[in-house]
Each structure stands twice: as structure tokens, then as C-alpha cells.
Amino acid sequence: MTGKRYSTATAVALICAATVLTAPGTAFASPASAPASPARQPTDPTPRSDKSLEQVRKEIEKLYHDAGVATDAYNAAEEKAEKQSEQIVKLAKDIAKGQAKLEKLKARAGAAARAQYRGGGMPAEARLMLSDDPGQFLDGAGRVRQGEKATKGMLTELERTQEDLRIYAKDATARWKKLEANRKAKAASKKEIKKKIADAEKLESRLEKKERERLRKLEEAAALKKQSAWVSSGVLKDISGKATPQGKRAIEFATAQIGKPYVWGAEGPGSYDCSGLTSKAWAAAGRGIPRTSQEQWKQLPRIDIKNMRPGDLIIYHSDASHVGLYVGDGAIVHAPRPGRDVTIAGAGSMKILGVVRPDK
């Protein structure tokens, strides 16, 4: 894994860190227990207690979670819109070909009608029967039958082409309506994403610099506590699978993106959202997978955690709104949320919904 592979010692370090951060008596000091400091001016804001700051952390976490759900909806609508646009383009080409064919058939039908008019309106059969030359009559009769067959075939083809064009037009209209519905869905999701992120940023902006630092430590402590509980359950003892060649390539791609910012809807190369990272990682490995974490959960084969191997995708939260790529030894690489960069994290630092496998 190009020097970025996590070892068992890393998992142990995570457990130790979680234990230290969450052990009784080692919680972050509240202002009441802090050393005496110069008297505050009446205009200074009252510092938040850890309990109050923890509530802010949970509110921010929920807002970013909701933004993640909206991001998945936006990405799904985007993916559908792209497919619908491709289908509409194909239909437009089919319609153009059909119209060209129809014009040729109409021209042939017109030529046949003009030929009959020039013959004085007398049916060709009658003109041939009045002929004094029996051979000419027999030859002409054959040509009449051939002509009738060709004319009948031309009219049938004309009708079929007109019906095809009608179906194409109807299908194109239906797809345009779906495309417009998806456009509205994208716009609604985009608005929701921006609102949730703005609300989260507003909450965080109200904090003083030191409080923001404490908030970051609370986030880390909460993640480490969950990871510690997950590892302590003994789950890693049963996980011994090895990455496939494709899985290794996916991991190499994903870990090479570490440090790049999370941006909702992004698929690289400069930034990613969670499913943008996993879908591009597996695309780099030669395996196309669904764009969103929810569709990855729905469409890819599900694997029991004990059978998990590096390269598998871990889906998080009951609504499948987050995904990370398992790199081994109890760790994932993922794009966490707005304001954070692609990073390595504990696989158990969030609530696991399940595991899916892109390759067989």
C-alpha cells in the first residue's frame, strides 16, 4: 500500500488514545476547574462548558449528516440526468434518421403517383391486356406483379417509419419530462446541501478559537471512543482476508488522495465527496461501481464483516449516507465532510450499516 498501510499497532494506538481521552478524570477541563485568570470584561462572551460544547458538536454532526444525505440525492439525480441526456441524444439521432428515410419514401411514392398520372390514369394491367404482343403482355404482367409487390412494400415501410417516428417522439417527450424532474430534484438537493453546511458553519463560527480547538478534540475523542469499542469487541480477530490485485489498486488510488479537501458532489481530481472517492478509486482499479453510497449499498454484493478484506467498502449510518474504503487493520480511507480532508480513520469510528464488495 505504498507505505501508507495501517498496522495492528495503529489500531492499538487508537484504542489507547480513546481510553485516555474518555477515561474518568481526564475529560477536558471546564472553566470552573481552570487556573485563575484575569477578570473578564463584561463584554467578553461566557465560555461554554464541555457539556454545552458537546451539544454543539452533536448539532454540527447532524447538520453535516443531513448535508451528506442531500449530497447523495444530488449525485443520484446528476447520474440519472447524464443517462437521460445520452438517451435523448440517441433518440434525436434516431428521429433524424427516420425523418430522412421518410422523405425518401415519400419521394418514391410521389414518383409512382406521377408515373400513373402520365399513363392516363389507365391501370397498367389494362394497358398490357390491350397489347397485340403476347410476349410483351407476359413480360409486362411479371413487371406489374413485381411493381405491385414493391409498391406494397414501400407503403408498409412508410407506415412503419411513421410509427417509429411517433414512438421516438413520445419517448423523447417522456425523457425530457424526467430530465426536467431530475433537474428540479438536483436544485432542491443543492439548496438543502448549502443550507445545512451554512447552518453548521454558522454554529461553528460562533465559537471562540479555543472553543473550536476543543470542539475538534471532542470530535476526535468521540470517534476514538467508537473505534475503541469496535476493536475491543474482537471483530478484527476474525478478519483475515487479503486484498485482490484490483483491491490493491483501488487502495493505492484512494490513499494517494489523502489531504485533498471534501467538496460535495466532487469526483476529483482535486477534491472528493465520500462516494466520489470510492467510485473513482474502483474506476482506477478497472471496475465501475455506482456513484452514490446508497446505490453502492443497494447494488453491490454484501459481505459479512468477518469476511471483510482490504478494498471492500464499508457503508455507514442507517440511511447509507456515508462510505469509506477499507484498507486493512481496522482502518478506512474516506472523505469525511465539508471542512475536512481525505484521511485515514478507524473503520469503527462511525455506525456501520454493512460491507459491500466491488470485485468478486
Is residue 16 annotated as a catalytic residue, yes or no? Answer: no
234: amino acid identity, one letter: G
Per annotation, catalytic residue among 16, 65, 317, 322: 322
349 burial type by CB count under 10 A (0-12 exposed, 13-18 middle, 19+ buried):
buried
The contacts of residue 346 (CB under 8 Å, 6+ apart) are: 11, 14, 223, 224, 226, 227, 230, 231, 330, 331, 332
**Alpha-helical regions (H) of 206-273:** 209-232, 245-256
- Report the relative pairing of strands 302-303 and 352-356 from DSSP bridges: antiparallel
Residue for grid cell 402520365: 118
Read off the DSSP letter of residue 123: -
φ, ψ dihedrals at 208, nearest 5°: -75, 165
Q: How many of the other CB atoms lie within 10 Å of CB of 299? A: 11
Read off the DSSP letter of residue 11: H
Per-residue cell: 163: 410509427
Closest C-alpha among 179, 219, 238 to residue 57? 219
Q: How many helices (H) and strands (E) does the chain have?
A: 8, 6
Q: Please state, in angstroms and rounded to a whole number, the distance separating the CA atoms of residues 36 and 300.
A: 58
Q: Coil, strand or helix: which one is 332? A: strand
212: amino acid identity, one letter: R
Is residue 322 annotated as a catalytic residue, yes or no? Answer: yes
Per annotation, catalytic residue among 16, 65, 274, 317: 274
Per-residue cell: 167: 414512438
- Do 247 and 311 contact (CB within 8 A), yes or no? yes
206: amino acid identity, one letter: R
Is residue 334 annotated as a catalytic residue, yes or no? Answer: yes
Q: Please state, in angstroms and rounded to a whole number, the distance separating the CA atoms of residues 169 and 175.
A: 10
Positions annotated as catalytic residues are 274, 322, 334
